[in-house]
Amino acid sequence: MCIRLATYEDRREADYLRAIFAGRGNTLENTVFLLMTPDGKTRLTPGGRTPDWVWEDASAMAQGMKAIAARYRPGGEIRGVPCMATFRLSLNVAACDSLPLLAAVGAKGEDAAVAAKSLEAIAWAEGLRGRIAFAPPTSIADLAATGIRVDKPGIYFIEPETYGMTGTAKGSVALDAETDAVREFAKAQLGRFVVPVKSERSHIGQGRAKGIFWKTAIPVEDTNGRRGGG
Amino acid sequence: MTTLLLACAAIASTQEPMVTARDGGIVWFGDLVAGLNEAKRTNRPVMLMSAAPHCHNISGIW
């Protein structure tokens, strides 16, 4: 099971991460990494900033993870729609991962939950798994707040712009469309999606020049690392 | 992040020799409670990481 949290975006998660690994002065570092038991209470590896703190290289990491996984007998398939807490954060994280975003958009937001089963099927489908990011049930107003205009509810395939502050709705299907129809829609859209290539240096330089700055939910504590953010 | 991706590729390659980039990436739970609930329900160990979705406060890049 892979869980990746966005640092400095949730107080409760930040406290959990800090208890696992903290920097000097008990600061929450930009990155945290470790393996945990299924209940999230016991460490299976030491906590650190990255996998390099635990294993020498990728091969050792693969062997270590396989050995840990072999101790457990999984009970059932993973379910759910893996996503971030908000549409705004989902859009940014999708941009970070250079992935398109699939969002169930309702008039009010909660009415978009009707699409959860379809999105769940797509999230874990062979050939689509890990190639599309998902947003939580979203409202038309949530999209408008990021500059994305849509005129009706639906499941939208969204291309994030390079900074993940806004994006473009490339197409949609009905919220209550059959799962097969949503899957085919997602496959077709994904086939047209051009994976963006980013240069860290120019991305940051141009972002600064344009005045595009991300506002975190809680203050960034790790100001001594190479990166002020990620 | 590079080590992580290489390790996942190494694991995949031992199980499915024909795995390519188009077969998919990592499915991340981005919410701690939802992720831990699923890990506990399915008895799977957790690979947990965090990262800030901005670099020098510029969004769109880890």
Question: For A25-72, what is each residue's pLDDT tens digit?
Answer: 899 999 999 999 999 999 999 999 999 999 999 999 999 999 999 999
Q: Does any domain span residue A1?
A: no
Q: What is the percent of chain A where pLDDT is above 90?
A: 87
Q: CATH no. for residue A186?
A: 3.40.30
Q: Give the mean model confidence (pLDDT) for residues B32-47.
A: 97
Per the domain annotation, does A222 fall within a domain? no
Question: Are A54 and A111 part of one and the same domain?
Answer: no
Amino acid at A193: F
User: What number is the ipTM of this complex?
Assistant: 0.90
How far apart CA B47 and CA B26 sit, in angstroms, is: 11
Within a domain: A198: no
Domain residue spans of chain B: 2-59
- A189 within 8 A of A182, measured Cβ to Cβ: no
Considering the domain architecture, whether residues A16 and A64 belong to the same structural domain is answered as: yes
The model's pTM: 0.90
The pLDDT value recorded for residue A223 is: 73
Domain-embedded: residue A133: yes
Q: Can you read off the two tokens belonging to residue A73?
A: 């007998």
Q: Does A129 touch chain B (CB under 8 A)?
A: yes
Domain count, chain A: 2
Q: Do B45 and A16 touch (CB under 8 A)?
A: no
Chain CA centroid to CA B25, Å? 8
Residues A107 and A185 in one domain: yes
Q: What is the mean pLDDT of chain A?
A: 93
pLDDT 10s digits, A153-210: 999 999 999 999 999 999 999 999 999 999 999 999 999 999 998 999 999 999 999 9
pLDDT score, position B4 = 59
Residues of A in contact with B28 (CB under 8 A): 2-4, 82
Residue percentage of chain A with pLDDT more than 70? 97
Q: Are B46 and A37 within 8 A, CB to CB?
A: yes
- Answer yes or no: do A183 and A113 share one domain: yes
pLDDT band at B21 (very low <50, low <70, confident <90, very high): very low
Q: Is A162 on the interface with B (CB under 8 A)?
A: yes
Query: Which pLDDT belongs to residue B20?
Result: 43
* Measured distance CA(A63)–CA(A84) in Å, rounded: 29
Residue A160, chain B, CB below 8 Å: the answer is yes
In a domain, A176, yes or no: yes
